[in-house]
Amino acid sequence: MLKRWAFVLSALFLLSAGTVPSAFAQAPMKLTLAHGIASDFLVALVAKDKGIFEKHGLDVTLSVITNGALAPQALVSGSVQITFVSGPLLMLGEDGGLDLVVVSGMSRIQKVNPHSSLITKEGVSVTKASDLIGKRVAVPGINSSLDLVFKKWLLDSGVRLDQVTSVELPFAQMGDALKSGQIDAAFPVEPMLARMLAGGGLARSVDIQSTVNPDFAASFWSSTREWATANPKAVAAFRDAMAEALVFIRDNPQDAKAIELAHLKFNDPNWPTFSLHVSPADLQFWSAVCLQLKQIHKPINGASLIFAGTP
């Protein structure tokens, strides 16, 4: 599996081991970091469990957000300082006046390492968007990144959105709903995708995300611009710690799997492509998607959302 894993580090996020100020080591910076329940967050979990955050002068408390739609609110309220925010939520926040910034990448959705798929009952074939006309398709959340990518795929394929019904359904309920005929297709991600297929009676169909874009980022480690601007040393230390944790995962995959199991209660059969790199193009992609689907009022400059402050 590691041979397929594209191990990516950005020079932007790599600082030499001796650059953490001594005062920082003497008085660790306290912050709360919120993660979700997916292997995409493994790098942060490793950084916490292996003492890497502490090594870089950060006293990190982990928190869990099970509904990613609440992440911007958690940042603005100050209950967390860094958390994951999806591309669409970053666009909606910027469009609505929230001032959030990206402090690091997390993972990438890549055709060479697919992490999701449209699934159907065995014997039901969906090879193109028009096969879903008149059908009901389950997504984990309306206006989630999966939902918007699915809708973009429909539009790009010449299918009107009113010709397909999107149904909001938790991943855990998708398999039974498919088997009972309540829905015609579902759009899960790993590890639920593998679990649903292992249960039998269901088949993998179209890799929608890779069809729309063969390499993109769905979510980003983010903070408010106000916090990041006031704490550039903490942002730099966070990036350094994540880079070191990423190396640890590469070199110690079994230890990383044990940490994953301890925190998430499962081992993903196929880790995503971890990457700390973020480019303006990653955010311009979401600006274009949200603009196409009339989620925002005007294009958003992706570069302006990447925090580039230095200590």
Please tell me the predicted confidence (pLDDT) of residue 269. 87
Residue 235 lies inside a defined structural domain of this protein: yes
Integer Cα distance of 29 and 265 in angstroms: 29
Please tell me the predicted confidence (pLDDT) of residue 226. 97
CB 32 within 8 A of CB 80: yes
Q: Do residues 173 and 129 share a domain?
A: yes
pTM over 0.85: yes
Looking at residue 113, the DSSP 8-state letter turns out to be B
Q: Do residues 25 and 159 share a domain?
A: no
Tokens read off for 105: 């990448």
In the listed set 152, 178, 212, which residue is the last one of a domain according to the structure? 212
Which CATH number do you get for residue 66? Answer: 3.40.190.10
Number of domains within the chain = 2
Question: Which parts of 232-295 are beta strand (E)?
Answer: 273-274
Q: Do residues 99 and 234 share a domain?
A: yes
Tokens read off for 144: 């989630």
Q: Do residues 249 and 165 share a domain?
A: no
Q: Do residues 69 and 188 share a domain?
A: no
Integer Cα distance of 157 and 61 in angstroms: 45
Integer Cα distance of 218 and 96 in angstroms: 20
Any bridge partners for residue 167, and if so which?
Answer: 138
CB 58 within 8 A of CB 238: yes
Q: Do residues 102 and 220 share a domain?
A: yes
Residue closest to 190 by CA, chosen among 84, 109, 276: 109
Q: Do residues 41 and 73 share a domain?
A: yes
pLDDT per residue of the chain (311 residues) written in tens, 0 to 9: 443 444 444 433 433 334 444 444 468 999 999 999 999 999 999 999 999 999 999 999 999 998 899 999 999 999 999 999 999 999 999 999 999 999 999 999 999 999 899 999 998 889 999 999 999 999 999 889 999 999 999 999 999 999 999 999 999 999 999 999 999 999 999 989 999 999 999 999 999 999 999 999 999 999 999 999 999 999 999 999 999 999 999 999 999 999 999 999 999 988 999 999 999 999 999 999 999 999 999 999 999 999 997 55
Residue numbers of the domain that contains 58: 11-111+215-305
Q: Do residues 81 and 135 share a domain?
A: no
CB 92 within 8 A of CB 290: yes
Residue 149 lies inside a defined structural domain of this protein: yes
Q: Do residues 150 and 292 share a domain?
A: no
Q: Do residues 63 and 74 share a domain?
A: yes
Residue 197 lies inside a defined structural domain of this protein: yes
In the listed set 193, 212, 231, which residue is the last one of a domain according to the structure? 212
Please tell me the predicted confidence (pLDDT) of residue 142. 87
Please tell me the predicted confidence (pLDDT) of residue 26. 61
How many C-alpha atoms does 235 have within 13 Å on its Cβ side?
A: 25
In the listed set 212, 239, 260, which residue is the last one of a domain according to the structure? 212
Q: Do residues 137 and 171 share a domain?
A: yes
Tokens read off for 79: 């209950």
- The two most distant CA atoms of the chain are separated, in Å, by 64
Residue 310 lies inside a defined structural domain of this protein: no
Integer Cα distance of 109 and 2 in angstroms: 16
Residue 6 lies inside a defined structural domain of this protein: no
Tokens read off for 199: 């249960």
Q: Do residues 252 and 103 share a domain?
A: yes
Residue 5 lies inside a defined structural domain of this protein: no
Residue 3 lies inside a defined structural domain of this protein: no
Type and span of the H or E element at 142 = none
Q: CA geometry: angle at 214 spanning 67 and 270, to 5°? A: 60
Residue 249 lies inside a defined structural domain of this protein: yes
